[in-house]
Structure 1
Amino acid sequence: MKILMIGGTGTISSAITRQLAASDNELWLLNRGSRKNEVPGNVKQIIADIDDEAEVLRQISDTQFDAVCEFIGFLPSQVERDIRLFKGRTKQYVYISSASAYNKPAANHVITEGTTLANPYWEYSRNKIACEELLLKEYRENGFPITIVRPSHTYCERAVPVSVHGLKGSWQVLKRMMEGKPVLVHGDGSSLWTLTWNEDFAKGFIGLLGNPKAIGEPFQIMSDEQLTWNQIYECVGKALNVRPKLYHVASDFLAATSPKEWDFTGNLLGDKAATVVFDCSKLKRAVPGFQATTRFDEGVRRCVAYILAHPELQEEDPEFDAWCERIIAAQETAMAQALSLQ
């Protein structure tokens, strides 16, 4: 197959790029080239801003693709642009949506592709829903051959997945663990979550490319492993050879007291605070043999080892660190005051 990926070097897509490059498929990447040195040599790269439609069409020329995969489309206007660019040029358009688009608060903790899409907490998710609706309309009315993919929390070796962190990522949480400081965990840490290693995700995704059962359909791709957030943080601590001190704070309190740009209202109340269990039986029917095989405790060991070996990924976040101390002090003061009234 001849496959074009818009993006191709991010957390999710980099694993797909590696696996497709090692296959008999012809892979093209369209992006701005910020990580072009990480791309396998047999991949054709189109270095361009996709919003420059004339330049994209100039470089693509009259090329026909078996699949075009959109990894960096977040707004309906971007999907409309893709329809203009690739209608009549591809046999399949694969749009990466998000499992955060599912109904919040969850009416049922078991999530299938038929679960209602609605998220009043997170604009990011509402935009993904709007993109899906636009594509489904284009498929129904004009036959545009779409496939919608909904990942949940997919991770790679470059960042440890935690729920409460600042804009600079997870390193400060790891640093607090190593220094013996408490780390914030939303709620009581007992809600269930699913984490998927990107190489596992890639296997399911590639199985949908050129697959006639995928046209016009949504699919969620993730691991069958569910862990509580307490277990997730404990796995991170074990990978660091420390016993983490978990400090639990209500999700709505974290959302109300954090800087707006961290968007804990969306990230927590609209996503990670809800217990979800994903049913991937639809994917397994379409891609027989798919199975995520990387347990989180194994994947996070790889993450920690990689980050410790790459100082450029150890970006400190003093603003987040100071905020954690303020939140802990505030809760401790409130508890002391409540106890004094007994």
Structure 2
Amino acid sequence: MKVLITGGTGTISSGLVKESVNRGYETYAITRGTNNKRNILGANYLHADIWDTENVSSVLGNLKFDVVVECLAYGVEQLKISLNNFSKRCSQYVFISTAGIYNRLGENRIKESDPKEFIDWSYTRNKIECEKYLVSFSDRTGLKYTIVRPTVTYGDYRIPFPIATRTPGWTFFDRMKSGQIMLASDNVKFSIIHIDDFSNMVVSLFGNEKAMNEDFHIASNDNDIYWDDVIRTAGEILNVEPKIVHVSPDVIKKVWPHIYDELAYNKNLSLVLDDSKIKRTSAHIQTIKLKEGLERTKNMMYTEYLSNDCMIDKKWNDFCNAVIFYSYKNHYLNEIETQMVKKYIDNYGSVDFEESIKRVMRSNKKEKLAIYVWGIKKHIKNILKDRDR
């Protein structure tokens, strides 16, 4: 089998490349080529701007594939370009969507047949439109497609937690190991999955007649967690007792606005998925539980941190400190967590918190200014366009 995967260096795309290679498939990844440190041995890496049709055509030449997996299209315009690039080059087109598109049912399990109308968040709204467009494109052209909806998928370079950094990911563990307070939000129930299990299930759909013109979310009924489980399990692995402070998204927004949408419209709303359909179609079942998966993540992130001379993500730490201190000073914490922060400040002082608040305020002002300038430039550009018509 010949497989092409767009991207190839992110958690999901690199996991799919690895599993495809492991199965002995002739595997290609098409990427810009700016990050080769995570390349998988045995895969063929093609370098192109996938949104440049002429560039892609030149790089691919006469290559055709049994399966193309689209991991990078986030909106309909990008999907159109991808279909133009690949639909005539493959027998099966696999589109990576998101499980976030489902209407939330509390802690009740969601099936693929349940309503998919979660449009409050722009990301899920765009993915819904992509899915609709793909189905209509298939009806018009006869292209065989498979829609894959990942839930929170973690692995070597991603921690399954709503407030975590990837630059480098080790910062999350380092913060806990050094005894600092961990920032959390609503402790809701969520289906998660390790990338190795995810990749096994998805690659089982390649060339699978039961998967043609079908949609699947990739999850397991045996791997639901609450978000606090991630912090507590990481604490067990590090042999420390973590300090956790919970802050609502609306309060977080006052200090850390750019993480608000994903937090409020996705990670703070319980998402528990039913695995019946994928179990009927894929031979693989989930095998990696949270502690094993998180230990792997910790080890890989520490190795990456040391071997690449990475620096701890001070900006992420600043934002965590700023949210915690702001919530403490403005009485947004419950009594137990208020006393925890007070005890921490009594022991270590408040200077670090105060300095973090100052840096975060400067950063937010710069970001607001950049957005304002971008808006003016866009407005001027539109005026000039209208004048030229």
* TM-score for both structures, normalised by structure 2: 0.78
Deviation at 1:122, TM superposition (A): 1.5
Choose between structure 1 and 2 for higher RCO, CA contacts under 8 A separated by at least 6 residues: 1
CA distance in 1 between partners of 2:180 and 2:107 (Å): 36
State the partner residue of 1:226. Answer: 224
Q: Is 1:283–2:281 an aligned residue pair?
A: no
CA distance in 2 between partners of 1:330 and 1:117 (Å): 40
State the partner residue of 1:250. Answer: 248
Q: Is the 8 A contact 1:121 1:269 kept in 2?
A: no
Residues 16-53 of structure 1 show CA distances to partners (whole Å, capped at 9, x for unaligned) of 21221233311111111123354344322211101221
CA distance in 2 between partners of 1:54 and 1:97 (Å): 25
Q: Is 1:299–2:298 an aligned residue pair?
A: no
User: SS state of the match for residue 310, structure 1?
Assistant: helix
Query: 1:227 is matched by which residue type in structure 2?
Result: I
User: SS state of the match for residue 116, structure 2?
Assistant: coil
Query: 2:249 is matched by which residue type in structure 1?
Result: S
Residues 276-319 of structure 1 show CA distances to partners (whole Å, capped at 9, x for unaligned) of 2211111111113x211010111111112222333227433243
Match among 189, 203, 208 for residue 206 of structure 1: 203
User: SS state of the match for residue 89, structure 2?
Assistant: coil
**Paired residues, number:** 330
Q: Is the 8 A contact 1:158 1:313 kept in 2?
A: no
RMSD of Structure 2 on Structure 1 (CA): 2.3
Query: 1:174 is matched by which residue type in structure 2?
Result: F
Q: Is the 8 A contact 1:151 1:221 kept in 2?
A: yes
Distance of aligned partners of 1:170 and 1:36 in 2 relative to their CA distance in 1, 3 Å threshold: closer
Deviation at 1:72, TM superposition (A): 0.9
CA distance in 2 between partners of 1:42 and 1:198 (Å): 19
Residues 80-106 of structure 1 show CA distances to partners (whole Å, capped at 9, x for unaligned) of 0122122322111000001111125x4
Question: Once structures 1 and 2 are overlaid, which stretch shifts more, 42-51 or 89-98?
Answer: 42-51
CA distance in 1 between partners of 2:300 and 2:25 (Å): 29
CA distance in 1 between partners of 2:106 and 2:226 (Å): 19
CA distance in 1 between partners of 2:333 and 2:12 (Å): 41
Which one has the largest radius of gyration?
Answer: 2
Q: Is the 8 A contact 1:2 1:65 kept in 2?
A: yes
CA distance in 2 between partners of 1:196 and 1:323 (Å): 31
Write the mapping of 1:176-215 to structure 2, written as runs, cut at 5 A. 176-187=175-186, 189=187, 191-215=188-212
Residues 143-197 of structure 1 show CA distances to partners (whole Å, capped at 9, x for unaligned) of 221110000110112232222246857544433322323222212x2x2112211
Question: Once structures 1 and 2 are overlaid, which stretch shifts more, 199-208 or 84-93?
Answer: 84-93
State the partner residue of 2:329. Answer: 330
Distance of aligned partners of 1:46 and 1:173 in 2 relative to their CA distance in 1, 3 Å threshold: closer
Q: Percent identity?
A: 28
Question: Once structures 1 and 2 are overlaid, which stretch shifts more, 55-64 or 306-315?
Answer: 306-315
Distance of aligned partners of 1:179 and 1:83 in 2 relative to their CA distance in 1, 3 Å threshold: same
User: SS state of the match for residue 137, structure 1?
Assistant: helix
Distance of aligned partners of 1:81 and 1:328 in 2 relative to their CA distance in 1, 3 Å threshold: same
CA distance in 1 between partners of 2:145 and 2:271 (Å): 26
State the partner residue of 1:340. Answer: none
Structure 1, unmatched stretches of 5+, are 337-342
Q: Is the 8 A contact 1:307 1:313 kept in 2?
A: no
CA distance in 1 between partners of 2:334 and 2:227 (Å): 23
CA distance in 1 between partners of 2:210 and 2:78 (Å): 26
CA distance in 2 between partners of 1:165 and 1:36 (Å): 23
Q: Is the 8 A contact 1:240 1:304 kept in 2?
A: no
Distance of aligned partners of 1:323 and 1:113 in 2 relative to their CA distance in 1, 3 Å threshold: same
CA distance in 2 between partners of 1:121 and 1:240 (Å): 37
State the partner residue of 1:54. Answer: 54
State the partner residue of 1:310. Answer: 304
